[in-house]
Every structure is written in C-alpha cells, then in structure tokens.
Amino acid sequence: MPFADKEKAAEYRRQKGREFRARMMEQGRCYCGSARDDVSQKRCLKCREKQKENYARNHKAQEQKRNLRRGERRAKGLCLCGRQPTRWPSGKLMKWCDQCRQVRYRAAKACKERRDAKGCCTACGDTKSVADKTLCDKCLQARRDHTREKNTSLRVAVLAAYGSACKCCGETTPEFLTIDHVNSDGNKHNMKYRPWSKAKKSRTSGIAFLKDVVSSGFSDDFQILCWNCNLAKAKHGQCPHQRMKCEVPTVAEATG
C-alpha cells in the first residue's frame, strides 16, 4: 500500500522482506526462491557465489580509497589516522602518532605471544628447527642480511662524508679505513656507551659509534685514517708518515 511518509514506506518494505525470508527458510529454500543445495546454508550456491563476488568488489574499492587517503596523509606528513605523528628525541618525525604506535605495539606483542605459545616462529609463524630460538632459520638469515646491509650502508655514508680516504697516507681501500678521534679521546668516547665490567667484558660495537658520528653532524672531531696510521698514532702519539714528512728536506735545502 502507498505511504506518504518515505520512512514508513521503507520500513514496510523491510518488514515484508523479513517475512519473505523467514517463509523461505521454513520451506527450505534460498532467499531467491530456489532450492538450497546445503540445508546448513541460508543461500543457494549461486547466491553464495554472487555474494562473494560483490564482497570482493566492494572490498577492493574500499581498499583503493583507503590507500589513496593514506597516501594523501603521508604526503602531508601526518599519521595514517590523520593525527600529527610523534617526534624522536632528535626532533625527526616518526611515521605514527602515539595512539597508533601503542595499538601496533600491543597487536604485535599479542601476535608474538600466540606464536611463541604454539612453538612457532614469532616473525612468520612457521615451524622452528630449534625449539630454544624464537625465529626460524629463514627469518634468522633474513634478519642477518638486513642488519648487514643496513650497517654497510651506514659505514659507506660515514666514510663518504669524510672523503673516503686516509688523511695521513691517502689510502682509499674501504676495508683498510677506520674512523679516528682527532683529539685522541676514543677511549673516553667508547666508555660512554658501555663501561668495562666483569658482567659484560665487551665494549660498544662500531655501529653504535658510527651512529654517534652521524648524530654529531659529522663533527670535525673525527677523521678517516687507515688501520696502520690509526694504530701508530695510538701507540706512538704520531704516525711515522707525519714524522717522515717533517724529516724530508725541501727543494731549496736539497739544492743547497
């Protein structure tokens, strides 16, 4: 029957639809009126396939819109949720705001705990070859490769910032180069990271030192020396190359 009010008309159609679906369920039929191949399902096979196609199409469209919206927010320097991201102590912006970081941390922690309780790898969920380890062999190797690549790129960047050559002898082979403290205070600098103790008889790694060099803005307190020049300077206070340069006579002195 016609209704002047649109809301009442919509409610009337919904009520008729509910009654029709209930009647079809009682008769063992699908909502479309055809017989159901599986009694435990509310729809026939054709309607189920159509419902899956509609869901996949709508999900793909929503995902595209979500990715476009996230890309616009990333371009503006915002978090994916639209809020202002948190800053590191150095002042650099993070990718996420405080709320999103906490949500992601709790979700990742819960996922790792579930996988660890099942005896699976905490990174990918696959079976571990060694029960005592938290990662499988594949994830362990991937983590080692990633760390090695990141550390190598950091070392190359630091060497390039200081000229990629020994300041004393001019050596340019990267494997022979190292970072030297101009003021010979490297021992004090290393003890700042990890003091020498009986509990942990090892000093800081070179990666932490390289990160400190980068955070200092490539200060003039550091320079590049090869291992020979660096050890000679540490043991004798001066590299023999510098002493030999001072002892070589000039052209005027040689000619007399």
Dist. CA 192–CA 33, nearest whole Å: 78
Residue with tokens 């405080």: 98
Per residue of the chain (256 residues), give pLDDT as tens: 566 778 888 888 889 888 888 888 888 888 888 888 887 888 888 888 998 999 999 999 999 999 999 899 989 889 988 899 988 877 778 888 999 999 999 999 999 999 988 889 998 888 887 778 888 889 999 999 999 999 999 999 999 999 999 998 899 999 999 999 888 887 777 776 655 444 444 445 578 888 888 988 898 989 999 999 998 988 888 888 887 877 655 544 555 4
DSSP 95-148: SS-HHHHHHHHHHHHHHHHHHHHTTB-TTT-PBPSSTTSSS-HHHHHHHHHHHH
What CA–CA distance (Å, rounded) separates 98 from 101? 5
Helix (H) or strand (E) holding 178: strand 177-181
Give the integer Cα–Cα distance in Å for 96 and 84: 8
Asked if residue 31 lies in contact with residue 41, where contact means CB atoms within 8 angstroms, the answer is no
Sorted by where each begins, the domain ranges of the chain are 6-75, 165-247
Report the C-alpha gap between 23 and 36 in whole angstroms. 14
| Residue 129 Cα distances to 26, 85, 115, 138, 161, angstroms | 54, 40, 14, 10, 43
User: φ and ψ at 121, to 5 degrees?
Assistant: -65, 135
